[in-house]
Amino acid sequence: MEQQLFDRERFDSLLETYAIGRHMEYRLSTDSTMNDARALAASGASHGAMVLAEEQTAGRGRKGRAFHSPAGENIYVTFVLRLDVAGLRAAPLAIPLAVAHAIRATGVYARIKWPNDIWVHGDRKVSGMLIDSEVDGGGTIVFPGIGINVNGDPTQIPELADIATSLRLQLGSPVDRESLLAGLCNEMEALLAQPAKELAPAYRDLSLVLGRQVTIAEGSNPPYDALAADIAEDGSLVVELADGRRLAVTAAEVSVRPAG
């Protein structure tokens, strides 16, 4: 497939936001949009600024894993979000919801695999997110680093062949990256303005894991099995153990166990 550069003018024409996406730093290639966004924030970038790259040479996912980032096919973006207390409470729910909504608007039936991945058909990853934050003199900055497999073919990468897909592979035709990213920005700004308690039901509706048996791996602790019972308003996963006890999981690897 012929690679096409991102059309910034078309993207701008589709934005409906007040702040998110209004300032874009565009890179043909960078080591990591997350690193660039941190530098942008340190230089005083306003809320909603973002770094978009055609290629990342050292992209990373959760727990420091490498994130495959080929050139000219997908979306690799990190936002600078300067959030108040209400926005911080909403962010763990609003950000993955925004990505899921934007992807579903293309016609792909996407769901959220807790905490931040977007999957289709229950077994194929189409998007991953790394949400970092830091405190500066003016408050808390959240950095959502988001990768979406749009028009590439991750199944050609041996380590991704059995677990990843792209929107183009799902739909059978290329997807407009400008419209997708503008939709993501529009959704994110609208959702971050809502209270967390109003976002939780929408997140639950799109959850891939609720009501299913899962395996939880937290740090160096031994993995354990549980039922994914609920999503709390702070974004944590509430699991039910075999003895009926319930635990709130805030940071862990969650594997969905096969049925039967």
What are the residue boundaries of the structural domains of the chain, listed by start? 8-206, 213-256
What is the mean predicted confidence (pLDDT) over 143-163?
Answer: 92
Which amino acid appears at position 111 of this protein?
Answer: R
Q: Is CATH 2.30.30.100 what the domain over 213-256 is classified as, yes or no? A: yes
In this structure, what are the phi and psi dihedrals at residue 188, rounded to the nearest 5 degrees? -65, -45
Among 81-85, 183-187, 253-257, the minimum mean pLDDT is found in 253-257
pLDDT higher than 50, residue 62: no
Confidence at residue 149, expressed as pLDDT on a 0 to 100 scale: 96
pLDDT higher than 80, residue 218: yes
Report the DSSP beta bridge partners of residue 77: 52, 146
Mean pLDDT taken over the chain: 91
Over residues 98-139, the pLDDT tens digits come to 999 999 999 999 999 999 899 998 789 999 999 999 988 778
Confidence at residue 60, expressed as pLDDT on a 0 to 100 scale: 58
- Pick 55 or 61 by higher pLDDT: 55
In this structure, what are the phi and psi dihedrals at residue 126, rounded to the nearest 5 degrees? -115, -15
pLDDT higher than 70, residue 64: no
Q: Give 63's pLDDT tier (boundaries 50, 70, 90).
A: very low
Sign of the torsion formed by the C-alpha atoms of 176, 177, 183 and 186: negative
What is the mean predicted confidence (pLDDT) over 25-48?
Answer: 96
Report how far residue 5's alpha carbon sits from residue 12's, in angstroms, rounded to the nearest whole number: 15
pLDDT higher than 50, residue 8: yes
pLDDT higher than 60, residue 260: no
Domains 8-206 and 213-256 alike in fold: no
> Could you name the CATH architecture of 8-206?
2-Layer Sandwich (3.30)
Q: What is the DSSP track for 82-136?
A: EE-HHHHHHHHHHHHHHHHHHHHTTT--EEEETTTEEEETTTEEEEEEEEEEEEE
Report the DSSP beta bridge partners of residue 78: 51, 145
Over residues 189-205, the pLDDT tens digits come to 999 999 999 999 999 99
